[in-house]
Amino acid sequence: MTILLIRHTPSNAVPDASPLPARVAGHRLACRDCNSLPALVRCLQRAQRSRPALVLIATAAVDAPQWARYGQALRTALEDLPAPYIEMASNDDDALDEHLHPQHAPAARVVCSSGRQDACRLSLAIAAHRLQTVEG
């Protein structure tokens, strides 16, 4: 099985080039980068087909008009995920749950103002613990 990490980084920001482990708790780690909310929707829709064991989503700040335009499609894509997801944000205002109020909340929300690398490390540790617990 695979853990899918989706990193939402706006096109005007520096892409995340942090090194990532190849495997977490025996699961392959796949990473997808997206630079807009429509691209994030497409990544989530692809996850419906690839059926990962867990999805990690690193969000970025988005302005109100984008939430208004793409929010419903993003909410639908989140609700249609075949696996639980862990959300990473630099503050509560950037969190998907705050804007979309999906039917199913994230399995965990990691808000880490010290940076995306710290949030990613913590989220991967949570993912490893959850998957090890499920697999017993």
> Along the 136 residues of the chain, how does pLDDT read in single tens digits?
899 999 998 777 666 667 777 888 888 999 999 999 999 999 999 999 999 999 999 998 888 999 999 999 999 999 999 999 999 988 888 888 888 888 888 999 999 888 888 889 899 999 999 988 766 5
Q: Which CATH number is correct for 2-6+37-135, 1.10.3470, 2.40.50, 3.30.70, 3.40.50?
A: 3.40.50
- What's the rounded Cα separation, in Å, for the pair 17 and 20? 9
CB atoms within 10 A of CB 61: 13
User: Whole-angstrom distance between the N-terminal and C-terminal Cα of the chain?
Assistant: 15
The structural domains of the chain, with segments of one domain joined by +, span 2-6+37-135
